[in-house]
Amino acid sequence: MKADDRLVQADPFESNGLYQRALSLWNHFAESARPGVAYAKISKVLHAMRPHFFPVLDSQIRKTYRSYARECAIDLSLEPVARYAYWAAIREDIRMSSEGLKVLRENLKSIGGGGLLTEWAEKVSDVRLHDVVAWSAKS
């Protein structure tokens, strides 16, 4: 994976594509994880490495996306290997809300008054901005 790879570019149906390479990287960490190291910790480390690709899959995000991620896993024929395809579900949401994320980013910059909020809005990835919005929704 390259540093500028984006989740929205990763077609989960593409054989040996970006999505599959990211999944291999995830599995590298997940398969050898020690007790107490699960989705949230692995995804936080990968997000820090590739902020435009890996969402933070904490318990709230997984709860929010559980149903949709289950549908995506079925669509991708991932069963019985994986019951949920969180990235595919989140990827589609980011694709569908790209204009809304742009508007939100601009609003954050305008109310930030040139301070930390403005700086954050300019630098944060769409994946992380989406994480924050989805986490805030608390469905």
Whole-number pLDDT of residue 79: 60
Whole-number pLDDT of residue 136: 82
pLDDT tens digits for 45-86? 999 999 999 999 998 999 999 999 999 998 888 665 678 899
Q: What is the C-alpha to C-alpha distance for residues 82 and 84, in angstroms, rounded to an integer? A: 6
3 state DSSP class of 127 = helix
* Percentage of the chain lying above the pLDDT 90 cut: 55
Whole-number pLDDT of residue 30: 85
3 state DSSP class of 61 = helix
Backbone φ and ψ for 10, nearest 5 degrees, come out as -90, 95
pLDDT value at 118 more than 70 = yes
State the burial class of residue 139 (Cβ atoms within 10 Å of its Cβ: 0-12, 13-18, 19+): exposed
Across residues 81-101, what is the average pLDDT? 91
pLDDT value at 139 more than 60 = no
Kindly indicate the confidence band of residue 36, based on its pLDDT and cuts at 50, 70 and 90: confident
Q: Tell me the whole-structure pTM to 2 decimals.
A: 0.86
